[in-house]
């Protein structure tokens, strides 16, 4: 059975990825099983660079396949920000509550029809010999005027999906695993594993 280390310390991401890859003959290992793992830095100029760097770092450290993501919220009215800096939008060492407050403040004067945004996830799967596959998933929506819902994390309670009439934080796990940016990317990884890696 192929073993893949999920290169993140975010348990929500581990849960989402594990649910979508369920049923494949692979053993998914959380990074927390490797207490001495190196810090995963995001210093690239693109999501792909960040995801590849994290996956390669973990693959080299563990000697196993590694799967890493980089995800950002892109707001059209803010010229694509926060983008690569979504986790530190309000500064270094901030909480997501700080990030959400800053986003709401910047979006205050923006009318509903111009509050369009997208969640973008890039996933990188890297083997111990350096072989790699990079895929992307995008979910379109808009920024809500206030937080709605208690599920999820990050900006989820502010990301409204018009087709469903809900924010991302109001979706069930099953709904997320069907339509989310991460789900779309993980499905592509699933297909790659089925076709290419011989799982």
What pLDDT, on a 0 to 100 scale, did the predictor assign at position 43? 85
**More confidently predicted of 115 and 13:** 115
pTM metric for this prediction: 0.90
Q: Cβ distance 77 to 110 under 8 Å?
A: yes
Average pLDDT over residues 158-169: 96
Closest by CA position to 164, among listed 172, 34, 35: 172
Active site residues: 70
Q: pLDDT value at position 42?
A: 84
* pLDDT value at residue 118: 98
Query: Per residue in 80-124, pLDDT tens?
Result: 999 999 999 999 889 999 999 999 999 999 999 999 999 999 999
Peptide bond into 82 cis (omega under 30): yes
**Per-residue confidence (pLDDT) for residue 198, from 0 to 100:** 58
Would you say 79 and 37 are in contact if contact means Cβ atoms under 8 Å apart?
Answer: no
Q: What pLDDT is stored for residue 197 in this prediction?
A: 59
Burial class (CB in 10 A: 0-12, 13-18, 19+), 135: buried
Is the per-residue pLDDT at 148 higher than 90? Answer: yes
């Amino acid at each position: 059975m192929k073993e893949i280390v999920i290169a993140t310390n975010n348990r929500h991401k581990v849960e989402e990825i594990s649910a979508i890859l369920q049923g494949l003959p692979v053993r998914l290992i959380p990074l927390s099983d490797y207490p001495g793992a190196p810090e995963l830095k995001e210093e690239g100029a693109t999501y792909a660079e960040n995801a590849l760097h994290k996956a390669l770092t973990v693959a080299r450290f563990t000697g196993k396949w590694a799967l890493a993501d980089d995800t950002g919220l892109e707001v059209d009215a803010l010229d694509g920000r926060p983008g690569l800096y979504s986790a530190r939008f309000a500064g270094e060492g901030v909480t997501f509550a700080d990030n959400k407050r800053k986003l709401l403040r910047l979006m205050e004067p923006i009318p509903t029809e111009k509050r369009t945004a997208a969640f973008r996830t890039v996933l990188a799967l890297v083997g111990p010999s350096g072989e790699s596959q990079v895929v992307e998933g995008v979910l379109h929506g808009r920024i809500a005027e206030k937080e709605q819902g208690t599920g999820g994390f990050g900006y989820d309670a502010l990301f409204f999906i018009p087709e469903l009439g809900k924010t991302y934080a109001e979706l069930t796990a099953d709904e997320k695993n069907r339509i989310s940016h991460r789900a779309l990317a993980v499905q592509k990884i699933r297909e790659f594993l089925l076709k290419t890696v011989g799982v």
